[in-house]
Chain A
Amino acid sequence: MVRFIPAPTSASPPHLEDQNTHGLLSAGGCVGEVELVDMLHKAEVSADLERLFGCELHTDTHGGNAWVDPGSATRSICGCEFKNIRFRVFQDAGEVTLRAKLVLQSGETLNSLPVVDREWRRFLSDLIHRSSESGVSPALEGFLNRSIWRKLMPVPYCFARIGLARGKQMEGKCWLMLDSLFPQPNAAWSDGL
């Protein structure tokens, strides 16, 4: 848990939740994952796409990520339960990018969401590191979508927080991203690697 003092903030829509603070101090104690998800359920949540950001979502290509018009969105973050998830990994010499595809309770899908969740990105980096160290180079995507998926999906609190990236000035689009994904990955999940 942390303690902070809110500072005056001039948030521009749709990033109305952004809050400047004075300092960020540990307040001791720790909230478990189940409790955390329980609390997030009490914040902004939606079972369908339209209520995620209070506006229509748009896509440019089949299977591509969705975006919203910054002027229409009424918030920039929202939680949702999901019924299924698939990962996709893009690798090049310099970088590994993790994308996810989700199906919500409503049956609607979100494609190619950039996963910016710190723990999941760290987990992916560890997987890559471990596989290169051990010389075992499994198809990373297959490992995520089979072994990790089997550990993730039975958890009773599958929950995602979807955020809006800040729109580029000229583009006029706020792209969706996967800010937090619960359950958070467990280092032991990569044991089968």
Chain B
Amino acid sequence: MSSLENLDESRALELSRQCVASKLPFQALPGDDDDLVETGLLDSMGWVDVLISVESATDIRGFGDIWPEGRAKSIRALADMIREARRRVPGEKPGESFAAGAQGGPEVSIGAWGYALGAVTVSTDQIESECAIPPHKIRNGAGIRSLQVAADTEDELTLGQRAAEAALEMAEIPAERIDFLVATSTTFLNLPSFAASLHSRLLLRETSGALDVGGACVGLIYSLAVAKSLLRMSSEAVALVVASEVHSRRLNAPHVPGEFRGLFGDGACAFVLTRGQRNSLAAPADRGGHAAVRLGDFVWGCSATFASSLGAKWGGNAGLTVQFKGEQLAHAAVTQMERILEILENKSGRPRTEVDYFALHQPNPRVVEILAEKAKIPLGRIPLPSATGGNLGSATCGISLCQALTDLRARPNPPQPPLIFMAAVGPGLIWGGAFLN
């Protein structure tokens, strides 16, 4: 962020002189109108370093990428370019319009999305055999037809990167346009943290933030809430939110019950958020796009009554230990998610019958079926990535949301605007929800 939006000529000149001086530490500063390259003071490499130095000092992205023909490469020309760029949209690279609709508006929208699943498909027979689970329990009891787990070459970073790259591609923006990254992963336990590691992996610019958010299965909803708040509070325009989990490695420990481990797959999802209303981020209107989906209110809480149904401890000789009361947890999840839907109805002022899609956390598909029946919502309005991928932790409701948004995008006459409810529960029991319209 820069405080240079109303830069006067003398300040722009001073800033340009500083940037040039940093490249010529042992020489007297040339005159403001001297051409730094023609006079031989800087070679082309040094000139590019000056441009990057100005970009870093002013946060004008893409500063000088295309230097106008005939314009001198002088201190004064740099100052003029700074002031010209400032008169355009602050922070916007010439020719890029992604954040053009994101100026000043208080609303935050999901502009683009993407997801990635572990590359290896594991059949239920294989899961049951590996996890010492009675035959057919995973398929018939939990409703999971297969799991998607990470290949040897995949981890939280590679899956998160793939999801993020897909979202950036849909948004048609380079990674440099991201002002901050909010990331969540329960299974990534390393330092540097997941957000920092993913920031590097995506080669986001150094002046873009990286923030980790907890919350386990509710982590994505919390991350969206945090990103929305940050976008509304600051002058930042574009955020990237990523959730990524690789359970197959983390839960592969002797003290993790097989019937727990056998429910989990690996996956990631990513969303590009922008401040302000913008039409058709994912696909411009002339290419069949629709209005961006606005992030509405968020709700959350912690219902400790059900806290003992799921717990995990890391550390010690035993590695990971999981305490898991399957039936109690399923009951708690259904009860809590139905309550979240009720709260969202009140918050949005819209009954669940008007909701186009429900993007829900899915401990397993059977739990979702029970919830759908209890809450009287058509199962067809709940995209079910868990049926073929398993419980994907924080990424589950995110991938469900991705599938809902993709479905909407493919419709010839999508509802304008669509209405989506999100709900998730996690150990604690912490819970969170949001509505999008």
Chain A residues at the B interface, C-beta cutoff of 8 Å: 60-65, 83-86, 88-93, 95, 97, 99, 101-103, 107-109, 111-112, 114, 139, 141-142, 145-146, 165, 170-171, 175
Chain A hits for B176, CB < 8 A: 86
Does residue B206 face the partner (Cβ distance < 8 Å to A)? yes
Q: How far is the CA of A62 from the CA of B52 in the complex (A)?
A: 8
Q: How far is the CA of A111 from the CA of B208 in the complex (A)?
A: 14
Given A90-B48, A92-B66, A97-B45, A60 and B22 contact (CB-CB distance below 8 Å):
yes
Query: Are A61's CB and B67's CB within 8 A?
Result: no
Size category, B interface: 35 or more
Would you give 13 A-B contacts (Cβ < 8 Å), ordered by A? A60-B53, A61-B57, A65-B49, A65-B52, A83-B201, A90-B48, A90-B65, A107-B192, A107-B200, A109-B200, A114-B48, A170-B26, A171-B26
- A62-B207, A86-B176 known; 15 other A-B pairs, CB under 8 Å? A61-B56, A61-B57, A62-B206, A64-B49, A64-B52, A84-B201, A86-B174, A90-B51, A92-B66, A93-B70, A103-B203, A107-B192, A107-B197, A146-B169, A170-B27
CB distance from A5 to the nearest CB of B (A): 33
Q: How far is the CA of A84 from the CA of B198 in the complex (A)?
A: 11
Query: Are B52's CB and A63's CB within 8 A?
Result: yes
**Chain B minimum-CB-distance residue to A61:** B56
Query: Are B66's CB and A107's CB within 8 A?
Result: no
Chain B hits for A146, CB < 8 A: 169
How many residue pairs link A and B with beta carbons under 8 A? The number is 88
Given A90-B67, A114-B45, A109 and B52 contact (CB-CB distance below 8 Å):
no
Given A90-B48, A97-B45, A141-B65, A84 and B202 contact (CB-CB distance below 8 Å):
yes
Write out, one digit per residue, whether chain B residues 14-57 have a CB within 8 A of any chain A CB (1) or not (0): 00000000100111000000000000000011001101110111
Query: Are B175's CB and A107's CB within 8 A?
Result: no
CB distance from B65 to the nearest CB of A (A): 6
**Chain B minimum-CB-distance residue to A64:** B52
Given A60-B22, A95-B44, A99-B48, A85 and B203 contact (CB-CB distance below 8 Å):
yes
Q: How far is the CA of A92 from the CA of B45 in the complex (A)?
A: 13
Q: How far is the CA of A95 from the CA of B51 in the complex (A)?
A: 15
Does residue B315 face the partner (Cβ distance < 8 Å to A)? no
Chain A hits for B51, CB < 8 A: 90
Q: How far is the CA of A60 from the CA of B18 in the complex (A)?
A: 12
Query: Are B66's CB and A112's CB within 8 A?
Result: no
Query: Are B95's CB and A139's CB within 8 A?
Result: yes
Does residue B64 face the partner (Cβ distance < 8 Å to A)? yes
**In the complex, which of the residues A61, A89, A95 contacts B53, with contact meaning CB atoms closer than 8 Å?**
A61
- 8 nearest A-B pairs in the assembled complex, by CB-CB distance: A92-B67, A62-B206, A61-B56, A170-B26, A93-B69, A62-B56, A86-B203, A107-B200
Query: Are A63's CB and B45's CB within 8 A?
Result: no
Query: Are B56's CB and A63's CB within 8 A?
Result: yes
Does residue B364 face the partner (Cβ distance < 8 Å to A)? no
Chain B residues at the A interface, C-beta cutoff of 8 Å: 22, 25-27, 44-45, 48-49, 51-53, 55-57, 64-67, 69-70, 73, 95, 161, 169, 174-176, 192, 196-197, 200-203, 205-207
CB distance from A112 to the nearest CB of B (A): 6
Chain B hits for A93, CB < 8 A: 67, 69-70
Query: Are B175's CB and A64's CB within 8 A?
Result: no
Chain B hits for A175, CB < 8 A: 45
Chain A hits for B70, CB < 8 A: 93
CB distance from B224 to the nearest CB of A (A): 25
Query: Are B48's CB and A97's CB within 8 A?
Result: yes
Query: Are A141's CB and B174's CB within 8 A?
Result: yes
Chain A hits for B175, CB < 8 A: 86
Q: How far is the CA of A135 from the CA of B49 in the complex (A)?
A: 30
CB distance from A75 to the nearest CB of B (A): 21
Q: How far is the CA of A97 from the CA of B192 in the complex (A)?
A: 33
Query: Are B56's CB and A89's CB within 8 A?
Result: no
Chain A hits for B45, CB < 8 A: 97, 114, 165, 175
Given A107-B201, A109-B200, A171-B26, A63 and B207 contact (CB-CB distance below 8 Å):
yes
Q: How far is the CA of A175 from the CA of B66 in the complex (A)?
A: 23
Q: How far is the CA of A2 from the CA of B336 in the complex (A)?
A: 72
Query: Are B197's CB and A91's CB within 8 A?
Result: no
Q: How far is the CA of A170 from the CA of B41 in the complex (A)?
A: 13
Q: How far is the CA of A93 from the CA of B48 in the complex (A)?
A: 14
Query: Are B203's CB and A63's CB within 8 A?
Result: no
Chain B hits for A107, CB < 8 A: 192, 196-197, 200-201
Given A111-B206, A145-B174, A97 and B44 contact (CB-CB distance below 8 Å):
yes
Q: How far is the CA of A156 from the CA of B300 in the complex (A)?
A: 44
Q: How far is the CA of A108 from the CA of B203 in the complex (A)?
A: 10
Q: How far is the CA of A84 from the CA of B162 in the complex (A)?
A: 11
Interface centre among A61, A92, A175 (most CB of B within 10 A): A92
Query: Are B161's CB and A84's CB within 8 A?
Result: yes
Q: How far is the CA of A90 from the CA of B48 in the complex (A)?
A: 7
CB distance from B164 to the nearest CB of A (A): 11
Chain A hits for B174, CB < 8 A: 86, 141-142, 145
Q: How far is the CA of A93 from the CA of B202 in the complex (A)?
A: 31
Q: How far is the CA of A109 from the CA of B210 in the complex (A)?
A: 15
